[in-house]
Structure 1
Amino acid sequence: MIADPKALLRQLYDAAVARALPAQHLAAFLPAVPPRGRTLVLGAGKAAAAMAQALEAAIQAQWPAEALVSGLVITAYGHRPPGYRPRRLELVEAAHPVPDAAGEAAARRILGLARGLSADDLVICLISGGGSSLLSLPAPGLSLADKQALNRALLQSGASISEMNCVRKHLSAIKGGRLAAACAPAQVLTLLISDVPGDDPAVIASGPTVADASRCQDALAICARYGLPLPAAARAGLESGAFETVKASEPFWAQHSLHMLATPQHSLEAAAEAAAALGLRAHILSDAMEGEAREVGRVHAALARAVARRGQPFAKPCVLLSGGETTVSLAAPPPGAAVSTGRQLGQGGRATEFLLGCAIALDGEPGVFALSADTDGIDGVGDNAGAFLTPSSLARARALGLNAQAELDAHNSRGFFAPLGDLLVTGPSHTNVNDFRALLIF
């Protein structure tokens, strides 16, 4: 018998997050000696400040004090590591997931810093998830308000992260390889923390320093598929091809190198190792699961029930691990839905929506506990990373007058788990390898 299932699940989450922290891995990718010219550090993402902190520590330890190092990094509000005061770099905080004026101004400055470099210079780009909104510089003819409206529509559409970033990069003046083009002829080293299924560098933060294979017509097709409103200037730029991204045929890519510091798979493997150290078998289902969060939750519930009842396809006790990036398509509650009163509706993110879908499908299955959380420490726009599920969750909710299905229909998953005392609140983790899910069965 496992004495404290929730504590065990939290240990696995902590192991997954720890594996993705840049301080553990970044120094290995710093060049042994500085360039003949200067080193310019540019970055954007939820983990960008922690990456900058790790880079500054590595430079101080490995390079001579006279090395010329400067730069600008953008991270999300509240994602600066505690106590970090940049010595050589400037750190700007901006809005995520919808861009704001601070992000636009910083992105414009980053593009300006990248211009006018020489072949003797080195640019180190620190890129992580969240960079798409933080590094927001609209394409010619578009305004920040245009980008904000489109970003909100994308977030509510149910589009995958690859689809969203295809649209974002084509309507940007800095993403889709454009930052790399501005850096030429300098050497460019891109260090990445992946938050996307498949770890495609061109998708992470919409690939500001990576060649892009998608086309303007692909972005138009995505907008049509989800009924996304396009400003006239955006439609004209896409239809004419004027907003085409930078392709792999450009000669300056020969001066570029790229390394992945952390991925969802790395973190799942760390969680599996932590489970094994506790004497528990762990099975990684996938690091790249996508789809509607509630439906993915139901699939996980079906698998967990098969393990609990039949020992198939895995023997219990065990833990099932998965990662990736699910989606939540926002919609009004169905006609006649009985939504609980007294609380604001629509509070929740992918992690808790997954968990509520899983809870309903499990219906109190004995011996099944779960944790679903975002590795950046923030699920959606709430203050929680995710939540826990226990066999008693639905019964306790009913005792409080909560209707699980109604709350799911209203996308109020955070509002469902909060009164139960089952939210996981960690604060920003200073990294981001996307969703983490663990189902414990015994």
Structure 2
Amino acid sequence: MKVEFDALEGDKSRRVEALEFDGTHLILKSQSDNSRKLIDLTGKRLFVAGFGKAVLAMFEGVPAELPVEEAIIIAPEAALKVSDESESLKFRYTIFFAARNNLPDENSVKATEKFVEFLKERDSAHSIFLFLISGGGSALLCSPVNGVSLEEKQATIKMLTSNGADIKQLNIVRQALSNVKGGQLLGKIQQSQAISLIISDIVGDSLEFIASGPTVIQTTQGKTAQEVIRDLNLEEKLPKNVDERVSIRREAAVHENVSNLIISSNKDFLNDLKNLLNDHNCCIVTDSITGDATEFGRELARLVMSRRVSNSWLTNLDRSSLSPSILLFGGETTVKIRGNGKGGRSQELALAFLVEILETCQTDDLKELPEFVLMAAGTDGQDGPTDADGAVLERNDIDLQKIPEILDSAKKSLENSDSYNFWSTFNEGECHLKTGLTGTNVMDAIVLSL
């Protein structure tokens, strides 16, 4: 799907905070150390190219006075209904929409072909490409290597995610199966200067893994795709062409003039959330949660119920000394599919939390629950391949007279990886969080009020 039009003069009030223009220089501002880098645009041709879940919002933030000649954008198909909100700018741009349900599709492949063509045709010693990159870019920028079909790549991604692969493992394999990921996009613009402004959706903000690192020169350090597949016990389970391709180690792309700058991350989101809650006793515990969603949900419930916890982020927290307070967590858990249900990381985490609460109530024959509110949500507004971004649960949502009934339904849903349908019906769906797409993507957020 493609939308093309001419941009007009736009409102200059909105800006990407990491980017300014003084009439001659493009000014890049680092969010981590407040350093500034000046790039002289005299005699240069400036192009904007972007992809990812946050790309439309990032695109709107490009300074209207910036001398951009032309731009090309690949945005999620689910964002089509809000694309008209993009501000008018003074240059021509083309937006492609792809990746329905956050999975690479034919529209992704076709859009990427046009994207690469755009880069190659404008590559010169006088060209500067300003890339706007965010999480979700892996599904949007899709160009399978020769010998591997889109269907085989889709099947591989599904197999990996269903078996608990984290985003780094997933992107290592994606890089091995791509003509544009893992720094390969730089090979299309060997003469040009490349500048990437990046919103991180990776624990630890590792540049080489965000959107599969299309503009990041890859090193030989770290695990190979073959090793990742072996770690997940998926040898001989993936398509034959994929098995053959991941055994080939290709040379890393080389580029003399590239800058990659992270402009936002989960840490920024949590700090903003903490500031929003400044009237409360609020604490950021970590922005690096990983591991199994079900187990972390259960651990949070054990903390609420003053039971022993083993998670390293929770062991130093004492329920009795925390109340009242609000704990903030960020990161990205994983899910291992156990049935044929529907759901996502945040919805499953919240469901596992509820199951642990109910099991404790039943075992200890509790007549009253402690105060708590839990919110588990994806910051992009889309938890897994669903239209929900998570769930919110508080003490008053649980009818103690119906614990056996609720527990039976919740356990069955958890065992079938069907958290979406559980939250759709529990309390008539009032606990199901559906905000719609947010226009950003900085992993997941968990808020626990005690």
Same fold (TM over 0.5): yes
Contact 2:48/2:71 (<8 A) preserved: yes
Change (3 A) 1:68 1:369: closer
Deviates more, 1:99-108 or 1:294-303: 294-303
DSSP 3-state at the match of 2:295: helix
Aligned-pair distance for 1:145? 1.4
What is the DSSP-based 3-state SS (H/G/I as helix, E as strand, rest coil) of the residue aligned with 2:435?
A: coil
Change (3 A) 1:45 1:315: same
2:167 is the alignment partner of 1:161 = yes
1:316 alignment partner AA: S
Question: CA offset at residue 244 of structure 1?
Answer: 4.5
Farther off after superposition, 35-44 or 170-179: 35-44
Residue 358 (structure 1) aligned with residue 353 (structure 2): yes
Q: Which of these residues, 119, 128, 149, is aligned with residue 122 of structure 1?
A: 128
Q: Secondary structure at the match of 2:48?
A: strand
Tell me the amino acid that sits aligned with residue 26 of structure 2: P
Q: In the alignment, which residue of structure 1 is the partner of 2:434?
A: 425
2:103 alignment counterpart: 98
How is 1:33-52 mapped onto 2 (pairs within 5 angstroms)? 34=41, 36-52=43-59
Deviations 1:311-354 (A, max 9, x none): 5484311011101111111023xxxxxxxxxxxx6121111101
Report if the CA contact (8 A) 2:56-2:83 is conserved.
Answer: no
Q: Deviations over 1:50-75 (max 9, x none)?
A: 212222xx1x2x33xxx352122111
Q: Distance in 2 between matches of 1:430 and 1:326?
A: 21
What are the equivalent positions in structure 2 for 1:59-208 lying under 5 Å apart?
60=64, 62-63=65-66, 67-80=67-80, 81-85=82-86, 87=89, 88-95=92-99, 96-115=101-120, 117-208=123-214
Q: Check conservation: 2:159, 2:238, Cα contact below 8 A.
A: no
Tell me the secondary structure at the aligned position of residue 403 of structure 1. Answer: helix
Given residue 107 of structure 2, which amino acid in structure 1 is its aligned partner? A
Q: Is the 8 A contact 2:288 2:331 kept in 1?
A: yes
Question: Larger deviation: 132-141 or 167-176?
Answer: 132-141
Identify which of structures 1 and 2 has the higher relative contact order when contacts are C-alpha pairs closer than 8 Å and 6+ apart. Answer: 1
Note the residue ranges of structure 2 that are not aligned, 5 or more in a row: 1-13, 28-39, 309-316, 362-368
Decide whether aligned partners of structure 1 residues 150 and 35 sit closer, same or farther in structure 2, where only a CA change above 3 A counts.
Answer: farther
TM-score w.r.t. the length of structure 2 is: 0.80
Larger helix proportion of the pair: 1
- Change in 2 beyond 3 A, CA 1:311/1:144: closer
Matched, 1:375 2:382: no
**Which whole-Å CA distance do the structure 1 matches of 2:377 and 2:223 have between them?**
35
Q: How many residues align?
A: 392
After superposition, give the CA deviation of every residue in 1:361-404 in whole Å (9 maximum; x if it has no partner): 23374201111110001111221121111124443775876621
Matched residue, 1:338: none
Q: Given that residues 126 and 191 in structure 1 are in contact (C-alpha distance below 8 angstroms), is that contact kept between their aligned partners in structure 2? A: yes
Task: State the AA in 2 paired with 1:165.
Answer: N
User: CA distance change for structure 1 residues 362 and 144 in 2, over 3 Å: closer, same or farther?
Assistant: same
Q: Report % sequence identity.
A: 29
1:256 aligned partner: 258
Q: Deviations over 1:96-143 (max 9, x none)?
A: 432111100111222222225112111011111111111110012211
Query: How much is the aligned-residue C-alpha RMSD, in angstroms?
Result: 2.6
Q: 2:444 aligns with which of 420, 429, 435?
A: 435
| Deviation of the 1:281 alpha carbon | 1.2
- The structure 2 residue matched to 1:54, chosen from 43, 57, 61, is 61
Q: Partners of 2:443 and 2:246 in 1: how far apart?
A: 30
Tell me the secondary structure at the aligned position of residue 296 of structure 1: helix
CA contact (8 A) 2:16 2:58 kept: no
Aligned pair in 2 of structure 1 residues 185, 424: CA closer, same or farther (>3 Å)?
same
* TM-score (normalizing by structure 1): 0.82
Q: 1:307 to 1:275 in 2, by over 3 A?
A: farther
Contact 1:169–1:245 (8 Å) recurs in 2 = no
Query: Alignment partner for residue 334 of structure 2, among 305, 327, 338?
Result: 327
Q: Give the partner amino acid of 1:99.
A: P
Larger CA deviation: 261-270 vs 223-232: 223-232
Cα distance in 2 between the residues matched to 1:216 and 1:399: 48
